[in-house]
Amino acid sequence: MNYIETEIPGVWIIEPKVFNDARGYFMEAWKKEEFEQHIGKINFIQDNESCSSRGVLRGLHYQLAPYSQSKLVRVITGRVLDVAVDIRVGSPTFGKYVAVELSAENKRQFFIPQGFAHGFHVLSDEAVFTYKVDNLYMPSHERGLHFDDPSIGVDWRISDTESLTLSEKDTKAPLLSEAEYNFTYK
């Protein structure tokens, strides 16, 4: 696998080696020893999967410590624009984001460490999104940021004619300046 650290240290794009032939393809999606050599020790405890249609925007989500989560995300059908926003107090990249297109075709993965808000926008008719997490889901610690916070300025690749589908929770999420977060840059 090819591990590419983004402009925000700790956030990684992972490109697997894909072996194609007349039967289809084969790839290693995750290899613990190799992952830990490049990124560090992570104890993933759960795999999640969602299916969404074109125009669905999920995020920007995070959980407060001690239930914050690192995520390793990928798309197995369709394509999405995936976004991670740094919300670690004292970080030189606080409020900055990294965006990467993940698709069934490019098979890229995106690693988002604890201390980041995460979201994605579906760019295809349908997308099946899967991810590993290193901590339990805890509704009482779940928080979010408004997806179009101008202080963050995410370019979600939304066309003028596209209507977004958001959850009620996401439409009511606060701006970064009003949000609750408890992550410290180390």
Q: Identify the bridge partners of residue 129 per DSSP, sorted by sequence position.
A: 50, 75
Phi, psi angle pair for 54, to nearest 5°: -50, 135
Contact 76, 104 (CB under 8 A): yes
Which whole-number Å values give the CA distances from 175 to 112, 143, 154, 179, in the listed order?
Answer: 20, 11, 13, 6
Residues serving a catalytic function are 61, 131
